[in-house]
């Protein structure tokens, strides 16, 4: 089985059985993320313990999240849970470069299972799907609350992503 097929299976598995799916009671920060282009929505809740992410969960309303968006949120929460916020921000930057096709093979390998999204760079319309939850996390870590969209120039991805 090729590595592309393995990564595709990982994405499908996280879509079918997402990790950290749900809401955090008494969350420190909650951010709603929307991708108006395709209708994806995600609600990210974050619980902090000082500068560490104590807990992170997401929900996506039925019919409001594609497989890539949901799997990305699942893998993201697993990757950042328990990590210092500065490390989560570095992962955000690396993931963003990954889905835009800007990382070397070595840099991709360093991302572990998140590397499954490297192929998204071949499909610019899907970059916003893969990065939606990450932008919600970025906003939450910056102290944001409320909503972030993939069309929001202050918090969302650059205009050159997606359509």
Which residues, 6+ apart, have CB-to-CB distance to 58 below 8 Å? 18, 20, 21, 42, 43, 44, 45, 73, 74, 77, 133, 136
Q: What is the pLDDT along the chain (163 residues), one digit of tens a residue?
A: 566 777 788 899 999 999 999 999 999 999 999 998 888 999 999 999 999 999 999 999 877 889 999 999 999 999 999 999 999 999 999 999 999 999 999 999 999 999 999 999 999 889 999 999 999 999 999 987 788 887 755 444 444 444 3
Q: What pTM was computed for the model?
A: 0.88
Strand partners, 146: 31
CA distance 60 to 130: 13
Residue 146 C-beta-side C-alpha neighbours within 13 Å: 7
Question: What secondary structure letter does DSSP report for 120?
Answer: G
Q: Name the residue among 128, 57, 141 with its Cα closest to residue 96.
A: 128
Class at the top of the CATH hierarchy for domain 3-146: alpha beta
Q: Domain boundaries in the chain?
A: 3-146
Residue 91 near residue 97 (C-beta atoms within 8 A)? no
């Amino acid at each position: 089985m090729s590595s592309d097929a393995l990564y595709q299976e990982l994405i499908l598995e996280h879509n079918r059985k997402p990790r950290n799916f749900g809401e955090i009671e008494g969350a420190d920060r909650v951010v709603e993320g929307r991708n108006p282009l395709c209708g994806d929505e995600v609600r990210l809740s974050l619980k902090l313990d000082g500068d560490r992410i104590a807990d992170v969960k997401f929900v996506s309303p039925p019919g409001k999240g594609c497989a890539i968006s949901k799997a990305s949120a699942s893998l993201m929460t697993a990757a950042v849970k328990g990590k210092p916020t500065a490390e989560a921000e570095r992962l955000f930057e690396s993931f963003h470069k990954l889905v835009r096709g800007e990382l070397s093979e070595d840099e991709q390998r360093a991302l572990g299972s998140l590397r499954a999204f490297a192929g998204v760079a071949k499909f610019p319309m899907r970059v916003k799907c893969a990065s939606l939850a990450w932008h919600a996390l970025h906003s939450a870590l910056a102290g944001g609350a409320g909503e972030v969209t993939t069309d929001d120039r202050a918090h969302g991805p650059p205009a050159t992503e997606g359509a």
